[in-house]
Chains A and B, each alone.
Chain A
Amino acid sequence: MVSKTLRWLAFLIAVTALVSWAALGANRGWTKTSVPVKKTDEVTGITVDDYQKRFVPGLDLLGAAVFGSALLAGLSFFWDKKKPETV
């Protein structure tokens, strides 16, 4: 029972991480908490990256989530081993 729950949990974590990562921009770089938005001064022509708060998960976070779920799934197999019956 516990092993099954662990496997389901692992699956849920992996799927949630993958869907969130894809939905939030499928960023193939590092996780960011602010993103640059270009702003141009019309008189001088100078362009500046104006950082605005936004959470964008990167491959590092996705990797950690997938690794965590794989660990959980692996753990579930050890849990499943039946103990020898005692007389």
Chain B
Amino acid sequence: MKLKLTMVVLVAAAGLSTAAPMDFDFKDPKGVNNAVFKLDAPLEAISGNATGISGSVSFDPAAPAATKGKIVVASSSLHLGNPMQLQHLKSDKWLDVAKFPEISFEAKELKNVKTTGDTTTADAAGSFTLKGTSKDITIPVKLTYLKDKLGQRIPNTKGDLLVIRSTFTIKRSDFGINPGQSEDKVSDAIELSLSIAGASAH
């Protein structure tokens, strides 16, 4: 009888532990996490990426709607194929990466949550910060929970992975980046695409 009771308690405890939210760290040792940016321009669209991703997201597979967290992109990790465009982009006239080293999005609430298997789609409402200016925006996100897959990426490690993907558009004028200027050369709209994976070791 005592043994049965102990087992029930253990099973319940195990159930509770898996139901608790897990913290996923998005600093990727493989350097695959990336944010792609694209701006329309004459001759050719200005397109590049940033791989200096960090941040943490709290995710509960049993309650994905409660997901919260913050993703940070290091401005200095922005890269473009054309060195002159990259220099302009990082200069004080555009992003001023020396003064504003981080671009971030802090998700505060998930709306329209739909879960199918390991995949959840939702609209994440939160605060986007660029060049020191924060603005509340809502972006579509796709979360894929990969249980026990961390070991496949990083040998001798046990844990889960959380993949987040999102594509959305912001306006540079909303963040004080040369509003109303040079729009014939560089569009006001910036298309952003985020593809990141976080790890939660256990």
Residue among B82, B146, B163 with max Cβ neighbours from chain A (10 Å): B82
Does the CB pair B83–A33 fall under 8 Å? Answer: yes
How many residues of chain B get a CB closer than 8 Å to chain A's CBs?
24
Category for how many chain A residues contact B: 20 to 34
Q: Is there a chain B Cβ closer than 8 Å to A51's Cβ?
A: yes
Does the CB pair A34–B81 fall under 8 Å? Answer: yes
CA distance A39 to B28 in the complex (A): 15
Does the CB pair A48–B49 fall under 8 Å? Answer: yes
Does the CB pair A49–B36 fall under 8 Å? Answer: yes
Does the CB pair A43–B43 fall under 8 Å? Answer: no
B-side interface mostly: mixed
The interface bits of chain B over 37-75 (1 if a CB of A lies within 8 angstroms of the residue's CB, else 0) are 000000110000101000000000000000000000000
Does the CB pair A43–B82 fall under 8 Å? Answer: no
With A41-B197, A46-B32 as known contacts, state yes or no: A30 contacts B82, CB within 8 Å. yes
CA distance A74 to B163 in the complex (A): 60
The interface bits of chain B over 122-165 (1 if a CB of A lies within 8 angstroms of the residue's CB, else 0) are 00000000000000000000000010010011000000010100
- Closest beta carbon of chain B to A38's beta carbon, Å: 11
Q: Is there a chain A Cβ closer than 8 Å to B4's Cβ?
A: no
- Closest beta carbon of chain A to B96's beta carbon, Å: 22
- Closest beta carbon of chain A to B87's beta carbon, Å: 11
CA distance A33 to B36 in the complex (A): 18
A31 proximity list for chain B (CB < 8 A): 82
Q: Is there a chain B Cβ closer than 8 Å to A36's Cβ?
A: yes
| B197: contacting residue among A33, A35, A46, CB under 8 A | A46
| A interface, CB within 8 angstroms of B | 28-36, 39, 41, 43-49, 51, 56, 58-60
